[in-house]
Structure 1
Amino acid sequence: MVDEFAGGSDEALSGWQPPAFKLPRPAAVDNLATALAARGLSEATAWTLARSAVRPDDMRRKLAEATELRVQGGTLSIVETRLWSAAVIPHPANPREYGHRRYPLGGSGGAVTTSPEPGSSAGLTAELELRCPTADLLAQRLEETKDRLLRENPLAYDIAAEGVLQPLTVVALTVVHADRHPSASLLVAADGSSRVCAVHSILDYSPCRVAYEWGRDDRKYRKEINRWIRHAQRQGWDGLREDERQRLRALTVPARVVVGFDPHPHTGQRFHTAVRNFIGLTHIRPPRPYGPAVENEAKADAVLDSLAEPTRTGAVHLTDAEKAWFAATVTTEEARARGLSPHADVRTENIVRSLLGGGVSTSRRVNEGIRSLTAKMRPKREERVDIAVELILRPLRAAEEGDPGVVRSRRAALQRAYRLPEIERLPAGRPIESDGGEGPGLRRLRDQALEEVERGSGNDGRLGTAQTELAVKAVYYMVAAEPMALQREVFGGSGGEDDRSPASVLRAMLSCRRGVLQAYEIVRSGRRGDRLYEVTESGHRAVAATGGHRELTDGLVRHIYTGEPLAVAAVGYSAAAHCWATVRNSVDSLQKNVKAMAAVPQQVGGRSQVEEEGWEPAEVTALRGDLDLIDRRIARWSDRHRELQSLREAEQDPAGAIE
């Protein structure tokens, strides 16, 4: 693997940079409105659609060859284009809310949270009409819709990074108010209300403002759009804050705009029914999902593509040969010919290090690959683990000829084992064992792991680098073996059953000398294709009462490596090292807690509470004082260590000291 630049933040070096937008000329808007009216749309709808287009001239050209989209009962004519987000609102009668609506017939006497369903406009084939008692009622419904969708289907975080990727299906809606309030011509997302609400959240738009203020006042509407266009022109992309970049990504949305409807003659179906049928096919009866395993396979290939591409700040993370090795698209002989190890555990360790370890730069590259398929701004670590495991399983699936039971149990165990937190701290670059054979590399890895055991690593709650690398290699053979020497934890069992996760069992095993020797023997046996056997404290195979060797099983591993802490020394280096590990863990915990506090938004999908509002100065000052005392105290320890080290070096080399 190729080392790459490890600096920078995930947000600063990733995310979509939209093109430089321009506010359309009024003449272009008028020309598009005329063309839309010629297709049979009302003048109000034609003007609303025309002013919403980012490029009216381009949309007008596409009208001549509108795409036909067949739905049950007819055919929709659509034009794909980009719309200003300030012109689109969520569907006021969003079907996603059906399960939460309260209906008048219930007789509760409380506020009714339903609104009438839109119907088809009389005499107009591709427009909806909604009759509403008052404008206030619709404004309330739009706000309730936004709040519920942001809560139940939060997409703002992901859209902030990549914008809206899949087009919304946008239809025209005329709202007629019973209280003689002027009618409103609106554009609603028949499919995509959650995305619209997320965009409005990023831009801090109110849907009722979009509908009733900007919808009627073209000057205010254009002023709102133009202020962001001008700001981007003044600052340049590199000069914008990240929250400003997020707003520019959300300033426009891709859309399939419905500009016509041709009902089938034998059905006579109306437009609003065709729109409802389209929504039903999309959400109520969508295509059958691929399933997690298939989805993770697809994400894995996307991640490998990301790792094999150079970035602005560094070279590729994987060579073409390594990419094919990770993807399991080469034979063992071909891998060996390319200088790659034929051993499954070495490939596994490289995959795990590349997708789960290596620090910020690696996780950013992996997340970019996942984002290319899912648009998630910050995929969770568990998702990266599942993708890594799916790559690891590819050769095993072929060997087992797709036996679903075997593959399923191995997948579950590997996913839980590789959630070991220490894996994240594996450094980028070459592993400790770099030769991938049974020679000095593996022995060096074993010896360094034993040294870490002597220093108390593992018993203090964290494995060392060598212990972690050896665990990653050994766990592959422990899970792939038959019988499995490491399985998933037991849920809901009796009180006497060991319910520790595989990651916890691994830590307990690699925290003692015998466990390190056991892991070393597992790797050696696995590479030879031998069965796995228990070893003694000396590292030799244990002999059972029957005279034979005892085969390693999950139950035996859990019985030997209970995870009970060893007696902790009260004085000397060992005792101090144990305390230092606790201090280090406390600092890690503090960093995570500070990061978690900074991530608390002011509202769903909003900006950071503390970054925007700050925190009580007296509390911050007191905390900084405590941290300063700790900093100065441990700095003295470092100075003392350097002083003693210099004295020792001078004693060993008096001549050098005189010079």
Structure 2
Amino acid sequence: MTDNPVEPGGTVEEETTVPGWQPAPWTLPRTAAVDNLADALRGHGLTEGGVRAMARAAVRPDDMRRRLTDPAELRVQGGTLLIAETRLWSATVLPHPANPREYGHRQYALSGSGTRRSALVEPRSAPGGTAELEMRAGTPSSLAQRLEDAKGRLVRDNPLAQDIAVEGVLQPLTVVPLTVVHENGHPDCALLIAADGSSRISAVHELLDYRPAKIAYEWGADDRKLRGEISRWARLVRKQGWAELTEDERCKIRALSVPARVVVGFLPDARTGQMFHTAVRNFIGLTHIRPPRPYGPAVENEAKADAVLDSLAEPGRSTTAHITEAEKRWFAGTTSREELKTAGLGHELDIRAEEIVRSLLGGGIGTARRVNEGIRSLTAKQRPKREERVDVAVELILRPMRTGLSDDAKFVRPRRAVLQRAYRLPEIEELRAEVRWEGPGTDGRALEKLRDAALDEADRGLGDSGRLGPAQTELAVKAAYHMAMAEPMALQREVFGGGEEDDDRGAATVLRAMLSRRRGILQAYEAVRAGRAGERLHEVDESGSLMVTAEGRPRILTDALVRHAYSGGPVPLEDSRVGGKAASVSWACVRESVDRLRRDVDGMARVPVEEGGPSFVSQEGWDPSQVKDARDALDRVSRRIAGWADRAEERAEAAATES
């Protein structure tokens, strides 16, 4: 088939008057040709559902049947995909229901806040060893909604419709059969999905006004309706001729079919014994996570995270699995909080964070090798760095928190950055599965036991020697999670390009200094306790009691206070209540209040008049008397602290004169 054939009876001059690709007239294949193709597909060991989905999808069944006699080989990491290159009707192919490009917007059941409609399980290899996938879905409506959401976001984030409207789909989609098993008893549904090319097929469906639910459940269940949809376009071209079609009709006809590499078989490498769904994901990863079209760092780490979990959960030839299937689902965020109780897993998110860190980053070189295997399956990197393993662990940790906040970059990004730095603490590598004080299913006093063990390690000088003990490290990991999630954040990134007096220590260094002190251990314990209770984090003194401001209120824990209290010196800072040290701590509270006021004003300015409209206060203003009261109060504070600056300048001038 040529790219720009001239319709019989036409001329080159006539063709040039209509811009864009003119496909050869599509014809509806004979039923006998479809049946012959189905017989040939059965010879490749496919299920009856996969056979039917492929046979009815082929634009030229006879051409595809010939290609089945000598399928092309597509090498991927872990095996070889056997493919037949042909054209498929667009009304038979769907975007991948779990497209990796959607990672950053998924809902995870563990968050306890998302709806289950978006929390679909990742496709697995179909039983029987065929080159097919299988996915479980609650109901047809849940899958239909997921497909609709995926299509909408793909069309919005990766708009291709204008190009396809002119030239059709140029690069072939990699198409794989998928069987959907419905948990509500609805009959299984056999689909063809674009393992690679979901953006392209979504743009095609947008041009043709196709709804994914109609393709999956209406045309997928009724060949007569599918053939009727194709036939009406073929009749239109025959009746009117290409030149007489409207431009909108031409755009739709160009999108009526797509080039495809249909996967009809899979040959796993004998050495690895990799499963089909892993090979498909590896192919997707090598296509998108590596150039030419990266997904972006956060989504790349999400994709790597699932590959790493697969690697950790699969036993090796001579080794057992590193994590159980239940732990894999817990780490992936696909286990709901109700299901955690049955599985005997903890519902506290800091315990989950510590278990992820322990499983992906602890255990020394043995764990690193298993994690690197998962990363290499998508990136082909020979030597992934430790920082990359840390980033993957952090992305798993953020999944429950990120659900519902995927578009709030101001909230997510700084917390991602802090945890990525905090969990580079070298002592984490020495965490072992058999040595832990508080893990899933432990009693209610386990946190206190962890605190006491960390205090004992500090009394023995661990931390000052340059290395934290295992209890100190476990408590540091859990406290870092809550300190990063808090508002305001009690642990932040180091300062870049600051003055000599700015604290430019990284988060891991601050944690080590903090957990080396008895007061810091009590502070970490309080951060975990308060974080689990949903309370704000407050500063504690040497005895673990809450510190209070001059007004008698508990002092909110901030990054400035943490860095001031745990400066990393050989001895802990005294709990000063007089003099410069006490004043500098109070000044940190003043700065935090000013910053919070600025954020609150910015937040009020962003309140719209209506959804998507302009700022309310920019358009409507605010009550003058209330604004005057606020400004008078701010003016009094401003004049007062300006006096402090004047006094400091006077003293500096006097000192300079004397010298």
TM-score range, shorter chain: 0.3 to 0.5
TM-score (norm 2): 0.43
TM-score (norm 1): 0.43
